[in-house]
Amino acid sequence: MVNSILNKIMLHEKIIIGYCFLMISIILFIGSPLNVFFDEIRFYIIMALITIAVALFLDESKGGIIRFLRLFAPGVMFLFFYRETGGLMFLLFDSFYDWQLTIFEKMVIGTNLTLFIDQHLLNVITNEILSFCYFSYYFMIPFFMIYLFYKKDYELLKNFLSAVCLTFFMSYMLFFLYPIEGPRWFFADLYQNNIDGPIFRQLVNLVIHNAAVRGGCMPSSHFGVALVILIYSRKYYPKIGKWLLPIVIGLGMGTVWGRFHYISDVFVGGFIGLVSVYIIWKYYKLAEHKSVNRRKT
């Protein structure tokens, strides 16, 4: 019975369920006072139950709209998981640690890059180009998922979703393990100029002002997930990867240029993305190897 149920749950759904129960366990173990985190516990229980229900009652083999709903459910859930990180930002610590990170970066590169950009490099054209790259992130996941669905590359879509889930959830856990609010907050009194731009800068501001969580800066999950998309597209659909490459590079630059992240956040986010892809590809390779051996015997 248990094996029958587990077989119906895809890897990315298992990752979502596992993340939910891991977060519940962490909150129960270290959340103090516990009553402050009841909403978060309830959230993760609900999300785990929704994922289980989707896995058990939406039979992907029926195709059509059922398959679409089954495979695209995580894309909607990511929005809610991100928002929920705001309530757990100080689960372990009671303050942000930007002061540590900025001292480290100044020791390594000789300056705080965000302040250097503010004082020497800002111009409308570059602002708009990098804002376009940053804003494009919000379309990357749905675009790539829809493209894979259109191509009927369902197994690759599941593989991709697993890597994205792992990248997001490892990033979200680091949010409260090392809380960083980001340069736009920490250096707010030191900036001398506004980042101006008529179109894409305004669109980015609109999203940030309405959807961003204060904190959640280390690592840059934006860049981590964008890198995952780039890796998959370069490997399996190189024509898309060719177009995405400069956009993802610009996105990484734009996170710092736009004052959303420190350079360290980008590197750590990229590393998490790379590790996630490696883990998922290794998992699927081992699963395929076991399947071949079972068929031989």
pLDDT in the model for residue 127: 95
- Residues 6+ away with beta carbon under 8 Å from 293: none
Q: Give the residue among 5, 91, 78, 77 at the shortest CA–CA distance from 41.
A: 91
**pLDDT of 167-224, one tens digit each?**
999 999 999 999 999 999 999 999 999 999 999 999 999 988 887 788 888 899 999 9
**pLDDT of 141-176, one tens digit each?**
999 999 999 999 999 999 999 999 999 999 999 999
pLDDT in the model for residue 293: 61
pLDDT in the model for residue 5: 60
User: Cis peptide leading into 142, omega within 30 of 0?
Assistant: no
**pLDDT of 231-272, one tens digit each?**
999 999 999 999 999 999 999 999 999 999 999 999 999 999
The first and second tokens of residue 119, run together, are 């004082």
Read off φ and ψ for residue 202, nearest 5 degrees: -70, -40
Report the chain's mean pLDDT, rounded to a whole number: 90
Q: Which DSSP category does 91 fall into?
A: S
| Polymer length in residues for the chain | 297
- Residues 6+ away with beta carbon under 8 Å from 229: 140, 141, 144, 160, 164, 244, 248
**pLDDT of 73-86, one tens digit each?**
888 898 899 988 88
pLDDT in the model for residue 215: 83
User: Cis peptide leading into 74, omega within 30 of 0?
Assistant: no
Cα-Cα end-to-end distance for the chain: 24
**pLDDT of 42-62, one tens digit each?**
999 999 999 999 988 888 888
Please state, in angstroms and rounded to a whole number, the distance separating the CA atoms of residues 66 and 50.
15
